[in-house]
Chain A
């Protein structure tokens, strides 16, 4: 498609070449700007405490050391934070995928009294900013005695209006005959859902799953409200806490901690890049 477009009927001339070189140069320059903060984070995390406070700063570390990393890993409950984030993100993702596909299936393929009203109710919640619900949610979670537990981070996130909407959209495209045929063959409702519907919407679920996982992994505002025990913190909360409370002046430690938190995310992203970007373009979802 693009080859046809750029070769066109007119053919490449000097102006075309000029634009091409210019735009590629600017794109590469922009890409360098995007990468520079990450590079600076990485380089700084290998510096010694003496080098990191030098003015003006050195760019490449003179005596690269892993001391900052070992300090972070031994003095802070880093692995606990990692485990908390992982437990919460996995639980939330599994729950959201299950509840969204099940509810989406029911809204798409079943008829029952009050269905339209319920669906509208679900959609309305999608538009509401989190700042509007966070105060009552805090009070409710406090009443349930879940503050300062990982449950506080999992249960309110177990359902997603966007997930329900997305699954409904895709399940509506599945022919109802397929479901009817299975019913005539004597398959139970739950079995139809698990063995027919789920496999057919797998790409949608992959996109939804990746986004739910990332949103949970990166969530900051709700953990900030619900958690204040250092050992129950998730990674973003812990990083903010680590930076502001203890180590604001020790940028070598802060950058090492940041590196440890950013690198796994980047690796996961590079691994699932295609699904990620396809899912985003498909849904127009904002993080």
Chain B
């Protein structure tokens, strides 16, 4: 239908000029800063590359083999899964009830103010949030230890013990970003027509029944979207680890993103870091496909 010949006709020339003139610079930027880096990253993963070393030989899958046997990388993968598998379910278990609660608040100003408060931490720079929590978690004069001290509980080394560091970072991360999912769930809830609830109430349905048979199925599309987006974003968690613990103590909070950053920019092993990044890319793509599949499956429930 669209052929070059038709485009070169005089009548279409100004349109063709507009498209070409506008698209060329934009596509150039997309190419240089997105397409090229993605390709280069995959290529780099098969080289031993350091910006300080003039010699960068092709080494096949050696980077990947080295990664698999690197105890720090394995730890980073485990920590990333720990973070995702712990923080994502807790996130959903907190945000959905809060959204349902907010949806039930009848006074508009109260509902909007509460929503704003829950959303507030997500707009603050994540570095600022990490610094504030690092201070709350201070072992000797932090607010948290002072509080549990009042209750007679001994001090906890929140960020400086291998056992507590990850849970502490997870709590901070949840505080920082539950606002997003609350707002998305709330929008999903507001979209459910109230006739459904009224009809069910006339039939004498109880609170649990309303949730189980109306809210839950009609929210399944929103929920699967929230689930997958949260997983993808948590897989890339970086700033709070880098600022609060820098991966420590004993690598207990070293996640994949931090491993990639350190390998590339502290140790200058850019090929090695790219191989790790390619693995992260693979996992992300799998999750994205899962997302597409889930939304398609769930759409049968849509009203």
Contact of A8 among B184, B201, B280 (CB under 8 A): B201
Whether B18 lies near A130 (C-beta < 8 A) is: no
Whether A156 lies near B33 (C-beta < 8 A) is: yes
Decide yes or no whether A133 CB sits under 8 A from chain B: yes
Name the CB-closest residue of A to B243: A240
Decide yes or no whether B22 CB sits under 8 A from chain A: yes
Bound Cα distance A125, B161 (Å): 39
Given contacts A56-B146, A113-B2, A130-B236, contact A287 B116 (CB under 8 A): no
Given contacts A23-B104, A31-B117, A280-B183, contact A131 B236 (CB under 8 A): yes
Which parts of A86-136 form the interface with B (CB within 8 Å)?
99, 102-103, 106, 110-113, 115, 118, 121-122, 124-125, 127-136
Whether B127 lies near A236 (C-beta < 8 A) is: yes
Whether A3 lies near B30 (C-beta < 8 A) is: no
Decide yes or no whether B26 CB sits under 8 A from chain A: yes
Report A46-57 CB contacts with B as 1/0, cut-off 8 Å: 000000111111
Decide yes or no whether A235 CB sits under 8 A from chain B: yes
Bound Cα distance A136, B105 (Å): 49
Whether A125 lies near B35 (C-beta < 8 A) is: yes
Report B1-43 CB contacts with A as 1/0, cut-off 8 Å: 1111001000000111111001100110110111111101100
Contacts of B54 in A (CB 8 A): none
- Among B35, B40, B128, chain A packs the most CB atoms within 10 A around the CB of B128
Given contacts A132-B280, A132-B281, contact A287 B197 (CB under 8 A): no
Bound Cα distance A255, B131 (Å): 8
Bound Cα distance A244, B142 (Å): 17
Contacts of B122 in A (CB 8 A): 287
Given contacts A55-B140, A129-B236, A136-B41, contact A24 B229 (CB under 8 A): no
Whether A139 lies near B51 (C-beta < 8 A) is: yes
Report B42-54 CB contacts with A as 1/0, cut-off 8 Å: 0010000001000
Whether B98 lies near A30 (C-beta < 8 A) is: yes
Decide yes or no whether B233 CB sits under 8 A from chain A: yes
Q: What total of chain B residues lie within 8 Å of the partner, measured CB to CB?
A: 107
Given contacts A23-B104, A133-B37, A254-B135, contact A284 B225 (CB under 8 A): yes
Bound Cα distance A129, B261 (Å): 13
- B66-74, B81-89, B162-170, B269-277 - the one binding chain A: B269-277
Which parts of B90-123 form the interface with A (CB within 8 Å)?
98, 101-106, 112, 114-123
Whether A284 lies near B184 (C-beta < 8 A) is: yes
Whether B117 lies near A277 (C-beta < 8 A) is: no
Decide yes or no whether B141 CB sits under 8 A from chain A: yes
Bound Cα distance A155, B32 (Å): 10
Query: Interface size class for chain A?
Result: 35 or more
A245: min CB distance to chain B, Å:
12
Name the CB-closest residue of A to B134: A243
Which parts of A208-261 form the interface with B (CB within 8 Å)?
214, 217-218, 220-221, 224-225, 235-237, 239-240, 243-244, 251, 254-255, 258, 261
Contacts of A37 in B (CB 8 A): 121, 129, 132-133, 136, 175
Bound Cα distance A2, B110 (Å): 14
- Interface of chain A, helix or strand or loop or mixed? helix
Whether B128 lies near A131 (C-beta < 8 A) is: no
Contacts of B265 in A (CB 8 A): 138, 225
Given contacts A37-B136, A55-B141, A122-B30, contact A1 B35 (CB under 8 A): no
Contact of A239 among B106, B131, B229 (CB under 8 A): B131
Contacts of B132 in A (CB 8 A): 37-38, 40-41, 255, 258
- A61-69, A195-203, A266-274 - the one binding chain B: A266-274
A270: min CB distance to chain B, Å:
7
Seen from chain A, the residues whose Cβ lies within 8 Å of a Cβ on chain B are 1-6, 8-10, 15, 19-20, 23-24, 26-28, 30-31, 33-35, 37-38, 40-41, 44, 52-57, 99, 102-103, 106, 110-113, 115, 118, 121-122, 124-125, 127-140, 142, 155-156, 158-159, 161, 188-190, 214, 217-218, 220-221, 224-225, 235-237, 239-240, 243-244, 251, 254-255, 258, 261-262, 265-266, 268-270, 273, 276-277, 280-281, 284, 286-287
A to B CB contacts below 8 Å, 27 in the list? A4-B194, A20-B104, A24-B101, A37-B132, A112-B19, A113-B3, A113-B7, A127-B284, A129-B281, A133-B37, A134-B264, A136-B38, A136-B44, A139-B270, A140-B32, A159-B26, A189-B15, A190-B18, A218-B126, A220-B239, A239-B131, A243-B131, A268-B123, A277-B119, A280-B183, A281-B187, A284-B184
Query: Knowing that A37-B136, A103-B26 are A-B contacts, what are 15 other residue pairs whose CB atoms are under 8 Å apart, sorted by A's residue number?
Result: A6-B106, A23-B101, A37-B133, A113-B2, A125-B30, A132-B37, A132-B277, A132-B281, A133-B33, A159-B29, A225-B265, A235-B125, A244-B243, A262-B124, A281-B187
